[in-house]
């Protein structure tokens, strides 16, 4: 199985699309109620769905980038605000935190080898 996409709820599609284009994603679907993007690297996609009702999204979407500090500097220069600049975490990842215009939490991170092979990786034997 392969993960197809994650869909985030948004309150204002135009504002949300502008935000994700500023982050560097490529839009591949554009409707008044739905937008879809590809990531700059790899085959991953994610989408936005316009919500007219109140909602609370507690999910966090992670986007990995090797030059995390450089990316965050570039985005700051484009007017993107961060809740947290890149910081080393106890789980051996470096993370920056921001929110999209609808309040969805985003973590930009770099994990390197620890992404799939942390020191505490579970080894299951049959």
Say if residue 126's pLDDT is above 80. Answer: no
Tell me the pLDDT band of 2, cut-offs 50, 70 and 90. Answer: confident
pLDDT, mean of residues 94-121: 96
62, 104 Cβ separation under 8 angstroms: no
What pLDDT shows up at residue 76?
Answer: 98
C-beta separation of 51 from 13 below 8 A? no
pLDDT of residue 3: 85
Q: Given this model, what pLDDT does residue 42 score?
A: 87
- C-alpha radius of gyration, the chain, whole number: 16
Q: What single DSSP character describes residue 114?
A: G
How far apart are the C-alpha atoms of 16 and 18, rounded to whole Å? 5
**pLDDT digits 0-9 by tens, 27-70:** 999 999 999 999 998 889 999 999 999 999 999 999 999 999 99
Domains in the chain, please, with CATH? 5-50+57-112 (3.10.180.10)
- The whole-model pTM stands at 0.91
Burial 17-34 (b: 16+ CB within 10 A, else e): bebbeebbbeeeeeeeee
Predicted confidence at residue 124, as pLDDT, reads 81
pLDDT one-digit tens code per residue, 93-107: 999 999 999 999 999
């Amino acid at each position: 199985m392969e993960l197809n996409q994650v869909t985030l709820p948004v309150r204002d599609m135009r504002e949300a699309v502008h935000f994700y284009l500023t982050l560097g994603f490529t839009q591949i679907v554009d409707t008044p109620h739905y937008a879809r993007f590809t990531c700059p690297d790899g085959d991953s996609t994610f989408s936005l769905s316009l919500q007219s009702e109140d909602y609370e999204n507690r999910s966090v979407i992670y986007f990995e980038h090797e030059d995390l500090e450089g990316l965050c500097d570039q985005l700051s220069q484009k007017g993107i605000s961060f809740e947290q600049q890149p910081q080393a975490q106890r789980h051996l990842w470096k993370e920056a935190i921001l929110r999209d215009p609808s309040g969805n939490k985003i973590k930009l991170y770099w994990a390197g080898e620890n992404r799939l092979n942390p020191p505490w990786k579970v080894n299951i034997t049959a």
